[in-house]
Amino acid sequence: MHKVNLPLGTRDGFGKRESKKYHIKTEIERRLLENNFMKVSTPLLEHKEVFAEFDLKQMGTYQLLDSNDDSLILRPDLTLPLARFLATNNVKLPQKFYYVGERFNISKALSGKYNQMTQAGIEIVGYPSIRAELECMLLINQISTEFLQGKVQIELGHAQFANSILDVLTQDKFLKEKIKTELFRKNMPKYLAYISIFKDKKEFEFLEKWPRLFGNISWVLRKIKEYELPEKAQQIINELTQVTSWLEQLPKQKVLLDLSVAPPQNYYTGITFKGFIESNSEYVFSGGRYDQLLENFQEQAEPAVGMGIDLEILADFSTVSVQRREKDLLYYQPEQLGMVNKILNKHKFELSMEADLRKAFLAAHKQNAELYKIDEGGNLQNVTEDCFD
Amino acid sequence: MSLKIALTKGRIEEPVIELLTAAGVDCEPLKNKKRKLIINTPDEEYQFILAKGPDVTTYLNSGVVDIGIVGSDILTEHRNEQYELLDLGIGKCQFVLASTTDFEINKEGRRVIGTKYPLITQNYFESLGQDVEVIKIEGSVELAPLIGLADAIVDITETGTTLKENNLFIYDYLDKVSTRFVVNRMSLKQKAREIYSLVDKLEKVIQNKELKK
């Protein structure tokens, strides 16, 4: 016997879930192509250096060696390969791109999580305008309406907010990083210990409240008015308030604000947004602005906004039903293949696989379909039970 | 919708129930649970699920519970990624490096260390600039140096009694351990009001307890 079990953290895709996933993927792609997004497919394998931004050990990645003994990696993310692609292919900017593909992360063994995920995403490169962010969030709303009964909540944040507060308090880079890490992880015992050195500063009250500043926009804004914020932080709040008011014009769109959230990756530089549904504990959408990322691959930075879409969660939670296509069946003799070809150009038939007419009739009956055959004159004839009398 | 709380079975059950009761949670069904593993409070505000510590982290990560009450030893060892909102100040103990009298930490060669906590052990020795061989042990860790399986052990101890009774000595003190109140990230987003209301009540109870000491 051959080995039959799958590698840890992998699974086969088939049946209803796979058709649903395919349907969602195709719909999203259709929408993006119609809006002149350029599709980019990058290889599953990349040089390890492409992902220098990440802590690969922490992430858990599959790595292998090529014939030159160079370290290759099964891509754990699709944004960095796209950045590499842009730096090396002289593609004209500004431009809107999209991708759909597999990414790989080794999750904790035996935790019930999967290591291979299909992810779609868009990258809008070269546009400094807020319209790039709005395009992403509009897409979240549209996908939410089409596939998740409009239940996706958008959570807004800003990659610079934490720095805008901490820069005023301390110049100690190490301390700032520690505070940010514990704030983002909401590890309160450690966070409170780190901020205790600012106990005598007027900002301390804000620092204490900070990890709780998330949720309903009007609530967060009301709370934040109680504190005097550094000018830069206030500017960010104003920007986020503005964006929220635009988003609230979208149908059924619930918008939340989180001032203590970690950006999706550390290369983000501006507004960040995530989308989630109540029934699941992972984000379906995640993105934001990262104006410096391309600088890691080429000399010049480019303004860019990107967003990842988790197709696995969409496939699991989408209420869209993809039904088996009801088609009538055509029974034919192998020597009629030429005629069959002509008929299929005009009519929609599924070809019967059965070797005799009676079996073909029974099979059609079983799937509630009509059965047709080609008569001697080359015409279509509906096969009814009477034919067998 | 009730809040689902995974509670670590065993040693910390009693002090946790005490804290929760003081915070106004009706814990009567939890006290009289017999062999039941899922227990609802009469007002249906909370559902308790009794589980082993490492499983509490698994439940939290998969989002099947909103809250986990579990030791910081397990959180560190399992690289917790969920929100740790409160130190409950109970179940206090400490990681120690222990061995028999003849143990020499700086002896030439690679030490063999027995432990239930390989990650914490490795991190500790790495911080000392030492490379050790770790043997994972599931229980009665104290046995390892006595029967010659390991040179020393890294384990948690509350009073040190078990160590003493087995003629083991403490060579170093590592991180302190206590029971934590951990919340699933998405649950906090969705049920912030209910969760923080419980956190605030518990925090008051803990502060009052500290004051009385």
The average pLDDT across A184-194 equals 95
Distance from CA of A374 to the nearest CA of B (A): 57
> Which token pair is B22?
């003081």
B61 at A interface, C-beta within 8 A: yes
B136 at A interface, C-beta within 8 A: no
- Is the model's pLDDT at A172 over the cut of 90? yes
Asked if B189's CB is within 8 angstroms of A155's CB, the reply is: yes
Contacts of B196 in chain A (CB under 8 A): 212
The average pLDDT across B39-45 equals 93
- Give B56 or A320, the one with higher predicted confidence: B56
pLDDT (tens digit per residue) in A359-372:
999 999 998 899 99
What pLDDT is attached to residue A278? 87
Query: What ranges do the domains of chain B cover?
Result: 3-91+178-212, 93-176
B190 at A interface, C-beta within 8 A: yes
Q: Give residue B87's pLDDT band: very low, low, confident or very high (50, 70, 90).
A: very high
- Closest Cβ–Cβ partner in B84, B86, B196 for A212: B196
With contact defined as beta carbons under 8 Å apart, do A222 and A150 qualify? no
What pLDDT is attached to residue A387? 73
- Is the model's pLDDT at A324 over the cut of 80? no
- Closest Cβ–Cβ partner in A111, A155, A186 for B84: A186
Q: Which segments of chain A does DSSP mark as H helices, in order? A: 15-34, 56-59, 79-88, 131-147, 161-169, 173-184, 188-195, 204-209, 217-224, 231-247, 311-317, 337-346, 357-366
- Is the model's pLDDT at B210 over the cut of 90? no
- Is the model's pLDDT at A203 over the cut of 70? yes
The average pLDDT across A1-5 equals 84
With contact defined as beta carbons under 8 Å apart, do A269 and A300 qualify? no
Contacts of A281 in chain B (CB under 8 A): 62-63, 184-187
What pLDDT is attached to residue A313? 95
Alpha carbon A265 to chain centroid distance? Answer: 14
**Backbone phi, then psi, for B207, in 5-degree steps?**
-60, -45
Q: What is the dihedral of CA B39, B17, B161, B210, to 10 degrees?
A: 160
Query: What ranges do the domains of chain A cover?
Result: 1-148+263-320, 160-260, 328-388
- Closest Cβ–Cβ partner in A112, A186, A258 for B83: A186
Q: Which residue has the tokens 């635009």?
A: A246
pLDDT (tens digit per residue) in A265-301:
888 999 999 999 988 888 999 999 998 888 878 878 8
CA-to-CA distance for A384 and A381, rounded, in angstroms? 9
Reported as type and span, the H/E element at residue B157 is strand B152-157
B176 at A interface, C-beta within 8 A: no
Q: What is the ipTM of this complex?
A: 0.88
What pLDDT is attached to residue A205? 94
Asked if B84's CB is within 8 angstroms of A187's CB, the reply is: yes
**Residues pairing with B47 in the sheet:** B4, B40
The average pLDDT across B24-40 equals 92
Give CATH superfamily name and number for B93-176.
Answer: Periplasmic binding protein-like II (3.40.190.10)
Contacts of B192 in chain A (CB under 8 A): 212, 214-215
- Give A26 or A2, the one with higher predicted confidence: A26
Asked if A214's CB is within 8 angstroms of B84's CB, the reply is: no
Distance from CA of A305 to the nearest CA of B (A): 24
Which of the four CATH numbers 3.40.50.1970, 3.30.930.10, 3.30.70.1230, 3.40.50.2300 does domain A1-148+263-320 have?
Answer: 3.30.930.10
With contact defined as beta carbons under 8 Å apart, do A126 and A28 qualify? no
The average pLDDT across A124-131 equals 96
Asked if B184's CB is within 8 angstroms of A188's CB, the reply is: no
Starting from the edge strand earliest in sequence, which strands make up the sheet with B67-71, in order?
B38-40, B46-51, B3-8, B67-71, B179-183, B83-87
- Is the model's pLDDT at A54 over the cut of 90? no
Quote the radius of gyration of chain B (alpha carbons, Å). Answer: 19
For chain A, percent of residues with pLDDT exceeding 70: 99
What pLDDT is attached to residue A389? 65
Q: Which fold has domain B3-91+178-212?
A: D-Maltodextrin-Binding Protein; domain 2 (3.40.190)
- Pairs of residues, one from chain A and one from chain B, whose beta carbons lie less than 8 Å apart: 48
The average pLDDT across A257-262 equals 93
- Is the model's pLDDT at A352 over the cut of 80? yes
> Which token pair is A313?
């969660």
CA-to-CA distance for A286 and B130, rounded, in angstroms? 41
- Is the model's pLDDT at A381 over the cut of 70? yes
Contacts of B185 in chain A (CB under 8 A): 186, 281
Do the domains B93-176 and B3-91+178-212 match in fold?
yes
**Backbone phi, then psi, for B44, in 5-degree steps?**
60, 15
| Residue B154 one-letter amino acid | V
pTM of the model as a whole: 0.89
What is the SS3 assignment for A184-251?
HCCCHHHHHHHHHHHCCCCCHHHHHHHHHCEEEHHHHHHHHCCCCCCHHHHHHHHHHHHHHHHHCCCC
Chain A residue closest in CA terms to B76? A187
